């Protein structure tokens, strides 16, 4: 983990916005000056730093082309970049998400830190190539930073294409994804035999199945990990509804349940970033605050699990 210190001008401005927004958000207090540090982790294959909180787009960026919805998502995306965001994750599987991103991104300021990640989700070489090109045009970007094979679909075919694209500079990193416990055995053997830069999987305080398997393989092989479903699709909040945070959460600059859940995920040594999805500006502000200040250590992580499981 590489804390950003001293702050660049952009981060200094983002920090000010974070303080202002956390004071404006009900139930969220700004704990101490140590929360001003933006946490980044290095991608093992390149050493490039990536902020630990990214943004997912499944369901939140799906809908009809309603100007009010687009305007809200624009504000969510602007808050993401203003508060130091980097990775945005999408997929052709997510309905209108890539189209909405393409409409919104040109209107966003301070987006130099964008780390554009999408997926290929189809069968066949040519169909994969065409789908990736269509995604690029929808986003309106020159190239993707990361292209992931979605849920292992036709992975052998796409891996060859992606290796060629990477060699030619068409993408920067190659990844593969899974979610909610599917294909873990297959994925383990694929990762042992083939080279990937990124692995995306489901990991959160209630679903820790990957700790003993995929996360240790990723660490051994120097593969960056993206944690999807960090809130178990929002169901973690239902479990803690109406409950106050334990006092020990202050020890790692955590002032909301959202920060508690995200800090748990990104403090695992194998995890590079979490990609919570939200359709609300105040939730984005909350999520981005989780990428600042101290993270729980190994002892505190065990304490978090015990506390959560006792509820």
| Residue ranges binding ligand NAP (CB under 6 A) | 56-60, 89, 150-151, 177-179, 200, 228-234, 237, 258, 275-280, 283, 286-287
CB of 310 to ligand NAP, least distance (A): 21
CB 165 within 8 A of CB 147: yes
In the complex, which residue's CB is closest to ligand NAP?
56
Nearer to ligand NAP, 37 or 58 (CB): 58
CB of 200 to ligand NAP, least distance (A): 5
Nearer to ligand NAP, 58 or 255 (CB): 58
Residue in 299, 298, 233, 283 with CA at minimum distance from that of residue 72 = 283
Residue with the two structure tokens 């997912």: 56
Helix (H, G, I), strand (E, B) or coil at 120: strand
Residue in 261, 254, 267 with CA at minimum distance from that of residue 297 = 267
- Tokens (6 digits) for 132: 């990736």
Nearer to ligand NAP, 11 or 259 (CB): 259
Nearer to ligand NAP, 40 or 178 (CB): 178
Residue in 37, 17, 19 with CA at minimum distance from that of residue 28 = 19
CB of 227 to ligand NAP, least distance (A): 8
Rounded to 5 degrees, what are φ and ψ at 95?
45, -120
Nearer to ligand NAP, 15 or 259 (CB): 259
CB of 148 to ligand NAP, least distance (A): 7
CB of 96 to ligand NAP, least distance (A): 13
CA distance 50 to 86: 7
């Amino acid at each position: 983990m590489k804390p950003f210190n001293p702050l660049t001008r952009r981060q200094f401005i983002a920090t000010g916005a974070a303080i202002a927004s956390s004071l404006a958000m009900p139930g969220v207090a700004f704990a101490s000056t140590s929360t001003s540090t933006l946490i980044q982790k290095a991608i093992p294959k390149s050493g490039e730093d990536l902020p630990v909180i990214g943004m997912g787009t499944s369901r939140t960026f799906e809908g009809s082309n309603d100007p009010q919805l687009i305007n809200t998502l624009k504000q969510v995306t602007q808050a993401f970049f203003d508060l130091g965001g980097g990775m945005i994750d999408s997929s052709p599987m997510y309905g209108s998400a890539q189209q909405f991103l393409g409409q919104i991104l040109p209107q966003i300021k301070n987006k130099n830190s964008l780390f554009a990640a999408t997926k290929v989700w189809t069968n066949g070489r040519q169909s994969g190539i065409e789908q990736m090109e269509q995604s690029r045009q929808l986003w309106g970007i020159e190239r993707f930073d990361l292209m992931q094979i979605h849920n292992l679909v036709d992975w052998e075919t796409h891996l060859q294409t992606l290796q060629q694209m990477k060699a030619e500079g068409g993408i920067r990193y190659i990844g593969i994804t899974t979610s909610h416990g599917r294909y873990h055995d297959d994925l383990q053997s694929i990762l042992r035999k083939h080279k990937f830069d990124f692995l995306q999987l489901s990991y959160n305080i209630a679903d820790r199945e990957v700790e003993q398997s995929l996360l240790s393989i990723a660490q051994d092989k120097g593969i960056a990990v993206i944690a999807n479903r960090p809130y178990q699709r929002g169901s973690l909040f239902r479990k803690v509804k109406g409950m106050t945070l334990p006092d020990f959460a202050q020890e790692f600059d955590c002032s909301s349940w959202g920060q508690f859940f995200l800090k748990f995920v990104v403090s695992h040594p194998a995890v590079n970033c979490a990609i919570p999805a939200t359709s609300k500006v105040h939730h984005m502000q909350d999520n981005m605050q989780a990428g600042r200040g101290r993270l729980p250590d190994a002892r505190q992580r065990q304490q978090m699990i015990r506390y959560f499981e006792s509820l």
